[in-house]
Amino acid sequence: MSDLIKSFAKQKLSSLPPEPPLHEDTTLPDADSTDPTSDSSSASSMSSTGTVIPSTTTKAKSPAPIPWTDFFAQELYLETALPDSHSDAPGQAKYHIYLTPPATPKDPLIICHHGAGSSGLTFALFALELRRLQPTWGILSVEARDHGSVVYTSSGDVDTDLSVETLSRDFLRMIALTRRKMGWAKLPQVVLVGHSLGGAVVAHTAATMSNTPAMKELEASSDLDLELAKHIIGFTVIDVVEGSAMDALKSMQAYLLTRPKTFPNLDAAVDWHVRSRTLRNVQSARASVPPLLVQMPGGSWVWRTDLSRTEQYWEDWFGGMSGKFLRGRGAKLLLLAGTDRLDKELMIGQMQGKFQLQVFPAAGHFVQEDLPENTAELIVEFCKRNDSSQLVLPPKVSDLLAQGKKV
């Protein structure tokens, strides 16, 4: 949901100077000079997005979709029984993840959570760049329920509880199930990364890990891997802050009505995302857009996640997020596109040096897709700087004396 909040909010910032030119690899497809949709300004606003309509008669210009195999080593479906709050009988979950394991137990694992209406492949190009920089590091990209994973109640109905507490527990379960599936004796050092709604989930999870009463409550849930708390290097929130998100919520239903409801094919969907400047990197769009849609019996493609039906959770997702971010366990990195605003709580936290702030003005809301190289470089540097397990401390004087050495 917050993926769209950002897009809508940007229409109110027309007074800002024009954005810098895009990188050559992210150049948009050429548009006919008479095409009313060829506006060169950012089309991630409500008005411009509404003008870009997928054509049923014109062949889409975007290249063919790129499969997940170009970015990750494995695609896994992790099944488990879940407690059902409405029944004594358990429900069932089938979680969907993408994974490239770390080469050794000493190599870090970057664990990513996407935003509302998005998918695990929003981190596809980021994963490629991360492995280019650090070939032995691992990356895990999870998919939330109603986005790629599915959870059933004990009666067999789909469980559509998308509260941040539930999404956080799903997140923890996917990490635990991945560890068991891979047979890891212990978790590697971990950096959590969340984009938009995923940032809210990551901040909630990190705050829970630093809360003793909350941890004691979680200890009653044997399916959660609480060892994670001992291995978090830090966490990164990408392009969402509480103040901006909460301000935009009242206008979100109107914005959602401007999006196309169907596409004739996947190429048209990729083309719409690029021409509307929802995504500014064609290569990333080819990987991340296809999982957002499902095909209907008649052949058309519709959104996998009906975001308008998630309205009851919007305030729950972002309310109190700044406080959770600041008290979360581990080092903190806030990565924003250039048009965001820090709320008061975050401004005070920044002045107190409680987190690292990085702004990429050339990116849109999907920073990790628009600028995957820059994002990967930043997170690699963040991980290295904060990973205390890699520090080599000088020997103690008492140890040197015991070895008969002069000091």
Active site residues: 196, 239, 365
Element (H, E) at 270: helix 266-275
Spacing of C-alpha 241 from chain mean position: 14
- Cα–Cα nearest to 214, from 354, 346, 327, 83: 327
Please state, in angstroms and rounded to a whole number, the distance separating the CA atoms of residues 366 and 285: 10
Please state, in angstroms and rounded to a whole number, the distance separating the CA atoms of residues 167 and 349: 26
Please state, in angstroms and rounded to a whole number, the distance separating the CA atoms of residues 215 and 227: 11
- Cα–Cα nearest to 85, from 33, 39, 149, 154: 154
Beta bridge partners of 301: 263, 295
Beta bridge partners of 193: 112, 236
Task: Provide Rg for the chain, Cα atoms.
Answer: 22
Residue 143: what are its φ and ψ, rounded to 5°? -125, 130
